[in-house]
């Protein structure tokens, strides 16, 4: 009923294309959920106004008193100063450079706000709300346009000294390899992200390799990662090589994470996991081949289960955790 007395947390997940939001009660049940276009090309002020409007709409839709919103958690892409609540540089969001988002949002809404890297938020959402509840140590790799990640050790999110822990996509897997926009060469995401798989197939065809996907490479119909996966499953040699190499790179990254962090669970998330066993099977097999044999401290490698809601759920959960730590 409208204005009912509930202690709820609001989560916002800001992406380059869409902004998702939801209101969660104390049992992590969604009382309201909405998604709107980011319209990032309109700049920060326009996007910020849309976020504020979304928060008001979610509170109204949830039918709870404003005083019942204990905090707002916001997931934002890119590096940030977590302690200061400042977004340093959000890729794919025009004008989002050195933005004191926590202060601005708190002042505009009158609500307590917490900001977090979007991949960290998604990882924490999967940790607390997915099927991973029995795990205490988990690493998540988000396989999309690039590769993001999040690390949870002992049930706590790891941010690192400079708030950039979990950037697994920029783990170097090929010394002197493919150039990455981050300034490094040989980053994991230049071999195993959705964009990289598509780009590498295009390069192979243009270099002279035969493929059933050549008409899409040279024609007007766009080539997708799903096309590469399907062609690989059907025996197309170029697609099979690119897909298998991507899976081996992911497996190598999982081995490195095993040895550095020793998690019990590695979760694969993002659009690539829609490939199902076509992705998980080769990654698990390559992991078994590549990892050491002197100790069986092998993590489970599992798909994420929360889909597009992981980011907003994690942002809300992290906001609640921040309040608990302050004794609120």
Residue 26 in any domain: the answer is yes
Task: Say if residue 175 is in the same domain as residue 295.
Answer: yes
Residue 22 in any domain: the answer is yes
DSSP state of 222: P
- pLDDT on residue 90: 86
What CATH number should be reported for the domain holding residue 211?
A: 3.30.420.40
Task: Say if residue 154 is in the same domain as residue 286.
Answer: yes
Task: Say if residue 70 is in the same domain as residue 149.
Answer: no
Q: Which of 27, 113, 36, 23 is nearest to 62 (CA)?
A: 23
Give residue 290's Cα distance to chain centre.
26
Q: Which of 34, 28, 33, 35 is nearest to 129 (CA)?
A: 28
Q: Which of 205, 260, 261 is nearest to 228 (CA)?
A: 205
Task: Say if residue 66 is in the same domain as residue 33.
Answer: yes
- pLDDT on residue 134: 73
Residue 289 in any domain: the answer is yes
- Under 8 Å between Cβ of 51 and 19: yes
- Name beta bridge partners: 117: 76
Residue 3 in any domain: the answer is no
Domain that residue 152 falls in:
134-305
Task: Say if residue 95 is in the same domain as residue 117.
Answer: yes
In the chain, the number of structural domains is 2
Residue 2 in any domain: the answer is no
Task: Say if residue 53 is in the same domain as residue 69.
Answer: yes
Residue 149 in any domain: the answer is yes
Task: Say if residue 160 is in the same domain as residue 106.
Answer: no
pTM over 0.85? The answer is yes
pLDDT along the chain (328 residues), means of 10: 70 91 89 92 94 96 92 91 90 90 96 93 90 80 90 93 90 96 94 96 96 93 94 97 98 97 95 96 98 95 91 92 75
Task: Say if residue 269 is in the same domain as residue 148.
Answer: yes
Task: Say if residue 113 is in the same domain as residue 168.
Answer: no
Task: Say if residue 184 is in the same domain as residue 138.
Answer: yes
Strands 113-117 and 18-24, bridge-based pairing: unpaired
């Amino acid at each position: 009923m409208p204005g009912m007395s509930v202690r709820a947390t609001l989560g916002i997940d800001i992406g380059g294309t869409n902004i998702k939001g939801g209101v969660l009660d104390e049992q992590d049940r969604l009382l309201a959920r909405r998604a709107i276009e980011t319209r990032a090309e309109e700049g920060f002020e326009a996007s910020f106004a849309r976020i504020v409007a979304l928060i008001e709409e979610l509170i109204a839709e949830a039918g709870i008193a404003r005083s019942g919103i204990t905090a707002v958690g916001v997931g934002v892409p890119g590096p940030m100063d977590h302690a200061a609540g400042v977004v340093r540089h959000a890729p794919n969001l025009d004008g989002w450079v050195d933005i004191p988002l926590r202060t601005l949002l708190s002042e505009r809404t009158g609500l307590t706000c917490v900001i977090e890297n979007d991949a960290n938020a998604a990882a924490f959402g999967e940790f607390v709300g997915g099927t991973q509840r029995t795990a205490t140590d988990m690493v998540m790799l988000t396989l999309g346009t690039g590769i993001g990640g999040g690390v949870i050790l002992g049930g706590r999110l790891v941010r690192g000294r400079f708030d950039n822990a979990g950037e697994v996509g920029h783990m170097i897997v090929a010394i002197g390899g493919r150039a990455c926009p981050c300034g490094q060469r040989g980053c994991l995401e230049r071999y195993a992200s959705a964009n990289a798989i598509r780009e590498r197939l295009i390069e192979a065809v243009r270099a002279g390799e035969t493929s059933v996907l050549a008409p899409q490479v040279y024609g007007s119909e766009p080539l997708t990662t799903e096309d590469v996966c399907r062609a690989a499953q059907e025996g197309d040699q170029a697609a099979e090589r690119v897909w298998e190499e991507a899976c081996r790179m992911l497996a190598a990254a999982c081995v490195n994470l095993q040895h550095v962090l020793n998690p019990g669970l590695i979760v694969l998330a993002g659009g690539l996991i829609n490939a199902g066993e076509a992705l998980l099977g080769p990654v698990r097999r390559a992991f078994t081949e590549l990892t050491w044999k002197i100790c069986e401290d092998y993590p489970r490698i599992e798909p994420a289960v929360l889909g597009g809601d992981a980011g907003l759920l994690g942002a809300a959960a992290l906001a609640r955790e921040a309040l608990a730590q302050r004794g609120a």
